[in-house]
Structure 1
């Protein structure tokens, strides 16, 4: 098992964030159409972004073990023993990603907080 470096993590972050932003923006604009013409309640863009962020990471890591960015960089999420993560580990990873302090733990733990709390690692395949 070869653990990925910080450059791969940064590339994964930028690609996945771009995809999440595009999905959230499309959902936000679609919802605002219904707000304007059908009287639906209005929501801030942040609700769409963070909601889609949680669903995006949970779905892709639960079903495939990696997100589209991880496919691009040939990396995969596994447990410390190298097996597929459990549902609770994926949910913890997705929830902790919603916090703004997640990435600031890399200097202390050598990996982000979502990896530390869920007991997972990101490896090259």
Structure 2
């Protein structure tokens, strides 16, 4: 698959994962009244499932067995999970940003490292 095609599918898969993440976060904050940082972390977990399936099957068309790709993906997600939590916490709790603006900023900041790690380490050709 060409680099351009994988970038396009990464953005689409990321959009679906992000929509899942945000829907979960908003529901948890607005309906269940969960602390925004915890809600963001829950949303991240939901989006992670969407992200793995889409990136494995469509974006990178991985031929790696799940027993190889899934542990790498779990570590990749752990790194992004911690970075998301830190950025979100700093923007929401410390800087006082609205939780949706903090989440959007965190998402945008994590796109480039997420793509590079996904393409070259999690789902290598």
TM-score of the two chains, using structure 1 as the length reference: 0.53
Q: Is 1:83 matched up with 2:65?
A: yes
Q: Which residue number corresponds to residue 66 of structure 1?
A: 53
C-alpha distance in 1 between matches for 2:42 and 2:111: 19
TM-score by length of 2: 0.53
Out of 75, 93, 107, which is 1:92 matched to? Answer: 75
Match for residue 10 of structure 1? Answer: 11
2:88 is matched with none
1:56-83 CA-partner distances (Å, limit 9, x unpaired): 41x457xxx504xx59x834674xx622
Aligned to 1:48: 39
Moved over 4 A (4+): none
* CA deviation after TM superposition for structure 1 residue 48, in Å: 0.8
Q: Which aligned pairs between 1:108-119 and structure 2 lie closer than 5 A? A: 111-116=115-120, 119=121
Give the aligned length.
97
Q: Which residue of 1 aligns with 2:95?
A: none
Structure 2 counterpart of 1:103: 111
Query: Structure 1 or 2: larger strand share?
Result: 1
Consecutive unaligned residues of structure 2, counting only runs of 5 or more, are: 84-105
From the two aligned structures, give the one with the greater helix fraction.
2
Deviation (angstroms), 1:120: 1.8
